Structure 1
Amino acid sequence: MQAKTEEDYQAESDLRTLAQAEEIRGNSKRYKAALAKAKEKIAALQSVQQEATKEKSGKAD
């Protein structure tokens, strides 16, 4: 039996991630909650980006 490589461990982790994603997609309550959380994160990142853009242009408060 060959020793597992880093690529083997990564592939197994990726497989678990894909399986979990399919499980979430099949559960509308979890899927909607995940989408709502993603929207929150996107809004927070956009806010940070806007602040950084203001600072870069010298328009920060």
Structure 2
Amino acid sequence: MTAPPKMICRDLWKLFGPDAEGFLSAHPQATTEQFREHHLIPAVRAANLEIREGENFVIMGLSGSGKS
């Protein structure tokens, strides 16, 4: 039997650009073209994570890419 997750993240987003949070709240199903039109860069789109005890988990990416 698989152990239950110690940490769960659902629908995780990281957008760069002006008023990214407001835009995503108003347009939850935005397309790539809509992001581009509003000068937004989606670094992470609707990611889901489950991390269990004892698992090794690494987030990799370039400096400034939204890991934190």
For CA contacts below 8 A with separation 6 or more, give which structure has more relative contact order. Answer: 2
TM-score, normalised with respect to structure 1: 0.23
TM-score, normalised with respect to structure 2: 0.21
| Structure exhibiting the larger radius of gyration computed from Cα positions | 1
